[in-house]
Structure 1
């Protein structure tokens, strides 16, 4: 599993990414196209068009790491937004990797009570 660090952030790169890209291609995409800093220890998450592969790129002390998960039967619930990048928590990333739909995932609704006389 990914080495989560409380100081790092998770960036979900929306849309489809060509999964033939490796470290060099994905890092150019992050720095040039998205204007984000690579060497911060942050995690950059990409998904293919059919939503069966997720790649996570991050810098770890002295080199890049590229982590991949490929689903054999199901599809990832990839968020759709007008933005290019969404900032997620590690908890949300774990949910995404487990197959949860983050749009549908919600906690309990708030309750409000009134006093009875």
Structure 2
């Protein structure tokens, strides 16, 4: 009886302490994610501090980033659809950690805050 109780407690602890990772078919650990992998052109965005906001606002699997300006003071990125039409614009002021995201065709300003 004690062995059964210890086994059940052990299993419940293991199940409750899951870290959100699952084993992939090749034996490596992968994060559980509802989003697909970013296209190759957008991989560079992961290193930017504004990436989490951009990822929430813009569908980065659909729109491709075109970094227009990236200098000491600011970074301007246009996001284009599959036809090459510029749909979104991101302006990040590095010294102030200020981000502005604009939808160019309809909505206007989607994000306008300090990170």
TM-score by length of 2: 0.30
Higher share of residues assigned helix: 2
Q: Which has the higher contact order (CA 8 A, sep 6+)?
A: 1
> Higher Cα Rg: structure 1 or 2?
2
